[in-house]
């Protein structure tokens, strides 16, 4: 048994990683990913963390054993996850060889309770590597396991479920669908309530590709190294009172506006001020827009678990973001969301293929993802809803996301993590405090 020290206040004891294979034989075949799936910007592993409290009705049930067996049974239905990614041809097209090789699984125990460590488990957790051990070669894109899962028992009877997934295989909604199936089978179902559907060809480029819309996220992308030194991560907890204050800065004709639009506008403006860019620098906001239920009829079939979101980008000079009132930023965010039509979706796919599936533009970019209604917290392995469920970290300096959260005082709100150089983070916190006066959001460091 390996022992991992967490400097204080607790230790995590891990067993050796193991492979979980499908519970019975699955088809050995090759499946092509979509032209959205295999863009360079998704070729990484994304960690998700779920924290579950003790439940007296599950007394005597081992979450590790229960979830281990449920994963094996669920992989029969989601057998591509048990395969390995390969590149095909000069265009580096990604396919998954459904080989049944399995996913990585780690059993662990932590000598702490939720009461002692709850705030240290939510983003930005300094202990993420202990609750999701980076097994050697487990984070490769090609020829590597597509899922890495760790279940860590806590002394209080609760547990932490952490999973890292290859983002080319699925997005947040797709992962929630898979994890919901694991939970259903853990609770005794024989078949998931939503049958998984592959059909990645639905999101394929036209032949030949024919971009018809503007996609600044893929234009003129110089190789700019991210400032990775002196970075800090903080998570800001917004309750209804902070949202109400922000709304007071918005003129009536801009209302109603969604919580995502309002918070994204606030974060983008304060972040731009904190970075102190050249006033003429072009700043980009990339909104991740889920297209699953956006159109009628639906673009994607029920059960589709591939990447079903598009990047929609708006731009502004730094000077305009800083000097204009908040409704200027809000208008840009609304534009980014409204841009996404069915033709925009097809045009984005065509652009990706015609440009060789490039990484999105990095310089001056801020990315926001809406995780508020994906259902992470509602994934139930038998212990009920998670205290926290959702992404475990952000893209350094570039990304944030909105996720529902109930803090240790029982207050409900929205958690928004952020990563910035330390001096910029201090300026961001000050700017947010000035905006909200005496009602600054709680900050978790």
Catalytic annotation, residues: 167, 380
The whole-angstrom separation of Cα 444 and Cα 384 is 25
CA within 13 Å, CB half, 1: 9
- Dig out the tokens for 364 from the structure: 């001056």
The whole-angstrom separation of Cα 383 and Cα 55 is 6
3 state DSSP class of 326: helix
What Å distances lie between residue 277 and 268, 319, 321, 376, CA to CA? 13, 9, 11, 36
Buried b (16+ CB within 10 A) or exposed e, 18-56: eebbbeeebeeeeebbbbbbbbebbbebbbbbbbbbeee
| φ, ψ at 259 (rounded to 5°) | -60, -40
Count CB-CB contacts under 10 A for residue 197.
Answer: 15
- Dig out the tokens for 285 from the structure: 């906001």
Using CA of residue 149, residue 134, residue 119, residue 63, what is the dihedral sign?
positive
The whole-angstrom separation of Cα 378 and Cα 387 is 9
| Strand 282-290 with 11-14, pairing | unpaired
3 state DSSP class of 418: strand
- Dig out the tokens for 109 from the structure: 């125990």
> In this structure, are residues 52 and 160 in contact, taking their beta carbons and an 8 Å threshold?
yes
Q: Pick from 178, 341, 333, 184: which is nearest to 262 by CA?
A: 333
CA within 13 Å, CB half, 354: 17
- Dig out the tokens for 167 from the structure: 């983002």
The whole-angstrom separation of Cα 248 and Cα 261 is 14
Count CB-CB contacts under 10 A for residue 327.
Answer: 17
| φ, ψ at 56 (rounded to 5°) | -60, -25
- Dig out the tokens for 57 from the structure: 């009705």
The whole-angstrom separation of Cα 387 and Cα 406 is 7
């Amino acid at each position: 048994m390996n022992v991992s020290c967490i400097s204080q206040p607790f230790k995590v004891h891990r067993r050796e990683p193991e492979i979980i294979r499908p519970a019975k034989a699955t088809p050995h075949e090759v499946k092509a990913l979509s032209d959205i799936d295999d863009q360079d910007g998704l070729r990484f592993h994304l960690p998700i963390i779920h924290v579950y409290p003790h439940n007296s009705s599950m007394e005597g049930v081992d979450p590790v054993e229960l979830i281990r067996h449920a994963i094996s049974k669920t992989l029969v239905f989601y057998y591509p996850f048990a395969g390995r990614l390969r590149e095909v041809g000069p265009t580096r097209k990604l396919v998954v060889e459904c080989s049944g090789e399995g996913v990585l699984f780690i059993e662990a125990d932590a000598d702490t309770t939720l009461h002692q460590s709850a705030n240290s488990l939510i983003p930005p957790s300094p202990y993420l590597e202990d609750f999701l051990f980076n097994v050697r070669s487990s984070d490769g894109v090609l020829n590597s396991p597509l899922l890495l899962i760790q279940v860590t028992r806590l002394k209080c009877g609760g547990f932490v479920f952490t999973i890292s997934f290859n983002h080319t295989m699925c997005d947040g909604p797709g992962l929630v669908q898979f994890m919901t199936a694991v939970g259903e089978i853990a609770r005794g179902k024989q078949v998931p309530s939503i049958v998984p559907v592959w059909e990645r060809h639905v999101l394929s480029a036209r032949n030949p590709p024919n971009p018809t819309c503007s996609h600044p996220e893929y234009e003129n992308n110089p190789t700019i190294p991210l400032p990775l030194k002196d970075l800090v991560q903080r998570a800001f907890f917004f309750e209804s009172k902070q949202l109400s204050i922000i709304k007071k800065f918005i003129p009536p004709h801009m209302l109603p506006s969604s919580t995502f639009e309002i918070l994204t506008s606030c974060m983008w403006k304060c972040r731009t001020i904190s970075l102190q860019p050249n006033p003429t620098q072009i700043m980009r906001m990339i909104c991740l827009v889920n297209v699953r239920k956006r159109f009628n009829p639906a673009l994607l079939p029920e059960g589709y678990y591939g990447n079903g979101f598009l990047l929609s980008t708006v731009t502004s000079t730094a000077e305009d973001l800083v000097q204009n009132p908040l409704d200027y930023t809000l208008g840009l965010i609304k534009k980014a969301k409204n841009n996404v039509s069915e033709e925009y979706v097809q045009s984005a796919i065509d652009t990706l293929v015609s440009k060789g599936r490039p990484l999105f533009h990095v310089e001056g970019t801020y990315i926001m993802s809406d995780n508020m209604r994906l259902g992470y917290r509602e994934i139930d392995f038998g212990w009920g809803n998670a205290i926290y469920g959702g992404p475990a970290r952000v893209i350094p300096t570039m990304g944030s996301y909105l996720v529902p959260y109930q803090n240790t005082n029982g207050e409900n709100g929205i958690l928004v993590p952020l990563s910035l150089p330390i001096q910029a983070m201090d300026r961001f916190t000050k700017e947010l405090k000035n905006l909200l006066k005496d009602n600054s959001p709680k900050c978790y460091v």
